[in-house]
Amino acid sequence: AAGIPIVRRANMLAEITRLKYTVCIAGTHGKTTTTSMVAALLDGAGIDPTVINGGIIHAYGSNYKAGESDWMVVESDESDGTFAKLHPTCAIVTNIDPEHMDHYGTMEKLREAFDTFVENLPFYGFAVLCTDHPEVQALAARVTDRRRITYGFNRQADVRAVNLRTDLNGAHYDVALRRPGSAQPRMIAGLTLPMAGEHNVQNSLAAIAVALELGATDDQIRSSLAGFGGVKRRFTPVGEWTPEKGKPPVRIIDDYGHHPVEIAAVLKAARAMQGQEQLIAVCQPHRYTRLRDLFEEFSRCFDQADEVIIAPVYEAGEALIEGITHEALVTSMRRHGHRAANAIGSLEELPAAIRERIQPGGMVVCLGAGDITRYAADLAGKLAAGG
CA distance 276 to 264: 17
Any residues with CB less than 8 A from the CB of 251 and at least 6 apart, and which? 237, 239, 240, 362, 363, 364
Q: At what angle do helices 134-142 and 107-119 cross, to 10 degrees?
A: 50
Residue 89: which of 51, 129, 121, 52 has the closest Cα?
Answer: 121
Q: Give one DSSP letter per residue of 166-234, joined into a string.
A: EETTEEEEEEEE--TT-SSPEEEEEEEESS-SHHHHHHHHHHHHHHHHTT--HHHHHHHHHT---BTTS
Let me know if 65 is a catalytic residue. no
The single residue of 31, 34, 262, 307 carrying the catalytic annotation is 31
Q: Give one DSSP letter per residue of 227-284, joined into a string.
A: T---BTTSSEEEEEE-SSTTSPPEEEEEE---SHHHHHHHHHHHHHHHTTS-EEEEE-
Is residue 186 within 8 A of residue 197, CB to CB? The reply is no
Any residues with CB less than 8 A from the CB of 268 and at least 6 apart, and which? 197, 198, 304
Let me know if 32 is a catalytic residue. yes
Let me know if 31 is a catalytic residue. yes
**Number of alpha carbons in the 13 Å side-chain half-sphere of residue 375:** 23
For the chain, how big is the Rg over CA atoms in Å?
A: 21
The single residue of 17, 28, 32, 35 carrying the catalytic annotation is 32
β-strands 126-130, 147-152 pairing? parallel
CA distance 238 to 294: 29
The single residue of 75, 78, 135, 262 carrying the catalytic annotation is 75
Q: State the catalytic residues.
A: 31-32, 75
